Amino acid sequence: MAIFALGIGVSAFLLFWLEPLIGQIVLPLFGGTPAVWATVLVFFQGTLLLGYLYGHASVTRLGPRQGAALHVALAVAALAWLVLQPGNSEPIEAGALPATLDVLRVLALRVGPPVFVLTATTPMMSAWYVARRRGTTGRDPYGLYALSNAASLGALLAYPFLIGPTVGLSSQLSLWTAGFAVLSGIFAVAAMVVWRASRASHARPRPGRQEAIAPLIGSATETPEDTDHRDIGWKRRGRWLLLASIPAGLLAAVTNFIAVDLIAAPLLWIGPLVLYLASFIVAFSERGRRWVPGAVLLAPAVVTLLWVPIGSAGGWPLIPLIAIEWGAFAIIATALHGRLAQDRPRPQRLTEFYLVQSVGGVSGGAFVGVLAPSLFPGIWEYPILLAGALAALALTASRPIPGSPSAPISRSARRRLNFSPFFVGARMRVGPYVAVAAVVVAIMAAEQSVALEVAVRWILFGGLILLVGAQPRFLAVATALALAIATLVIPAPALLRDRSFFGVTEVIRSSEEQVTV
């Protein structure tokens, strides 16, 4: 277990050390716009998908022995790529391609091969661990995924406070290359462990009839979750895809909302990414899972807290609004990733689970970073994802018990016009929402914000939806309608609206008959 945990931890640390490092190198080439960071996220999520696809194919087609040898060879080739390429970015400066494609091109030429190797490490080494302990008891291999995200979180926090301020970019590149060389050695040692375990399993006597059919009927150490979920159909894969794509899209959307609409500050994008990784740690660790039901319970309130400022974002106090954005995103990501972790398959299918999850991650990131700027004239992807979060929780909820907040309304109740099922559990939904909203209103009143009256109206409107939102699907539909009104109907018509890689430009006529850009 130790060598696999070490390899996964080191690879995750290097990956999330490289992400802000290469972002700092690429950012000046493209004007420093927040869209560059969104594209960097798309690159890493897309490479993660390719790495997980390769890992799944290696485990299922080649087996642990050949797969381990191939991974070591690829790591050595990626190390050679790092050592032999030019030491500066002059030969691969921004070119004539569209900005998004050019950012992806620069990243692929600069760090594509090593990132590909790093992204494949967690599913592959987890599968090696499962193969090595086959027929024996051991720790849940999904705990290695929590370890991977913990190491990623450590690198992300170390960069702005320790690595970045004390080490120059060129020295960081050299240190990072040395760390990748050490990781290649860890891969070689892990491959030797896999080879020895495989040779020992081939040397054992052939199993009897009962031993031979044990893998088919399940071992004595399997949990009910393992035996109940042997068959993986497209419906279940669709749930994984949905639960992974919404948080990934919100990661980019929240980051863009803060960096574009609120404040342009260095390294502010780290906050949402830290919370995104922490939600995986909570969801996939044994101790952290106890927090998931609370996150699911608070999700309707925090989603509403996120969409209410859309109708009056300009007048909200900056620091409380950023705190709401970060805190609400953390709860939503934990709720959705918690549902994802609860539906994980038996360990023998973990590479497929990770692959589908990575498809969801890259889909959500690409929706915000690539598709939305081309499809939407305004920032429509953010409200779409907020409504999608409630829809995902509604569609993946377990079968409700009669009388619970999510229990369907019976026909007899509908005939009697009994609306009480809509109000069940209102205190738990509205209470946290009112507490936070009251603090924000008090701050706006103290600052004599010009948007106070508008903000109060939206807060009351959001509270009303929460009050009658005991039915998850009704809450999702009502929220979607409210967001459509806030996004498409209420905003003043613009004389000109244009959206590009660098943001949204609007020309509007103010009440004083002045044209404002």
pLDDT, tens only, 238-276: 999 999 999 999 998 888 887 776 666 656 778 898 999
pLDDT at 419: 63
- Measured CA to CA, the distance from residue 101 to residue 173 in angstroms comes to 24
Which is higher by pLDDT, 22 or 183?
183
pLDDT at 245: 95
- Measured CA to CA, the distance from residue 288 to residue 445 in angstroms comes to 38
- Measured CA to CA, the distance from residue 499 to residue 497 in angstroms comes to 7
Mean pLDDT, residues 298-323 taken together: 81
pLDDT at 210: 37
Mean pLDDT, residues 185-211 taken together: 69
pLDDT at 89: 44
pLDDT at 196: 82
Which is higher by pLDDT, 455 or 249?
249
Which is higher by pLDDT, 169 or 512?
169
For the ranges 71-75, 122-126, 269-273, 274-278, the lowest mean pLDDT is seen at 269-273
Phi/psi of residue 261, nearest 5 degrees: -90, -25
Which is higher by pLDDT, 399 or 288?
288
Asked if residues 297 and 176 have their Cβ atoms less than 8 Å apart, the reply is: no
pLDDT tens profile 110-119: 899 999 999 9
Average pLDDT, rounded, for the chain = 80
For the ranges 54-63, 89-98, 263-272, 293-302, the lowest mean pLDDT is seen at 89-98
Structure tokens at 305: 């807290």
Structure tokens at 243: 């639960």
For the ranges 185-194, 320-329, 394-403, the lowest mean pLDDT is seen at 394-403
> Which secondary-structure segment (H or E) carries 395?
helix 381-395
pLDDT at 229: 46
pLDDT at 506: 62
pLDDT above 50 for 401: no
> 20, 36, 4, 327: which is closest to 155 by C-alpha?
20
pLDDT at 47: 92
pLDDT tens profile 169-181: 889 989 999 999 9
pLDDT above 90 for 188: yes
pLDDT tens profile 130-158: 877 664 455 678 889 999 999 999 998 99
| pLDDT category of residue 217 using cuts at 50, 70 and 90 | very low
- Measured CA to CA, the distance from residue 9 to residue 1 in angstroms comes to 12
Best-predicted range by mean pLDDT (34-38, 57-61, 104-108, 356-360): 356-360
